[in-house]
Structure 1
Amino acid sequence: MLHHITLHLARNAEFPAGSVRHGYNLVAPLTEAGHLDPDVWAGARDRCTVRRFWANEDDRHGLLRHKAGGAHGATWIIDYDPDSSDDDEPGYRLESHVFAPGEYVTIKDQQGAHTFRIASVSAVPSPQPSSAAVSGIAGPRP
């Protein structure tokens, strides 16, 4: 099932209290246990979106990708440009993390690795079929 996930920058030397003005909004597939689900991702990859928000910078929009390679044979990355890997932001062992409020994950961007606190996780409502499809009513004929 797909979930909305909000990450906020965790406390660090520059932001001792963390920052809600730096982070990510993700739509990602999670298992019942809260782990990223590569099987659901495979069928919904274009719906697994990412918005990076960073104070005083334009938002960046991309997709969550599951790519071959990494410590466990595959890795999760944020892909802003499908024609280039130069801007990819890999997550650190995201496959082993539980995505639940209060937990932490690390994402590496061009400036280095940053730790984020998971601020919220909520299920994305399933798309509802149209009323015509539910009732079996055919559409207008040409």
Structure 2
Amino acid sequence: MPLKKIRLELARTKDFPDGSAAHGYEFVAPLDAKGRLDGKAWKEFKQACTVRRFWGEETEHGTLIHRADGKWVFSYEAGDDADDEPIFRFDRHAFVRGEYVSVTEHDGVTRPFRVTVVETPVSLRK
């Protein structure tokens, strides 16, 4: 099963010079053998590709979407592109602990996040 649970935590920013474990994302996604997002497997497992955005006390739930143009986004309302959060070069990143990715959030600000967890989701463990 190629699905993995991935946790991204806010990396250093002006507002959080030490980063923040209380701000970030947890999502389920199919990864290939190199740890990269697998668009073909996403088609098969897209119902399981969920995302949870945690931001202090606020939590949002949505889905990981692989768009027809090849880009990946977090979406919180089906059919509403306005809430989509594009992930910068998500298709090129290997999801390995300690690596960094950038997400453009609702407010239009692109923020850095550090990969802190890559594991088999609990619901899929034997």
- TM-score normalized with structure 1 length: 0.82
The whole-number CA distance in structure 2 between the counterparts of 1:43 and 1:66 is 12
The whole-number CA distance in structure 2 between the counterparts of 1:96 and 1:83 is 26
- Are 1:54 and 2:51 an aligned pair? no
- Are 1:99 and 2:95 an aligned pair? yes
Per-residue CA deviations over 1:5-44 (Å, capped at 9, x if unaligned) read 0100000111111000100000011011000001110001
Listed as ranges, the gaps of 5+ residues in structure 2 are: none
Aligned-residue identity in percent: 41
Aligned CA-pair RMSD: 1.3
Structure number with bigger Rg: 1
Letter in 2 for 1:106: S
Equivalent residue number for residue 3 of structure 2: 2
Letter in 1 for 2:63: L
Equivalent residue number for residue 123 of structure 1: 120
Equivalent residue number for residue 63 of structure 1: 63
Equivalent residue number for residue 80 of structure 1: 76
Listed as ranges, the gaps of 5+ residues in structure 1 are: 129-142
Per-residue CA deviations over 1:58-100 (Å, capped at 9, x if unaligned) read x10000000022xxxx100001111211100010010000101
The number of residues matched between the two structures is 123
Letter in 1 for 2:52: R
Provide the secondary structure at the position in 2 that maps to 1:43: helix
CA shift for structure 1 position 127 = 7.2
The whole-number CA distance in structure 2 between the counterparts of 1:123 and 1:51 is 16
Larger relative contact order (CA 8 Å, sep ≥ 6) = 2
CA shift for structure 1 position 126 = 3.9
Letter in 2 for 1:6: R
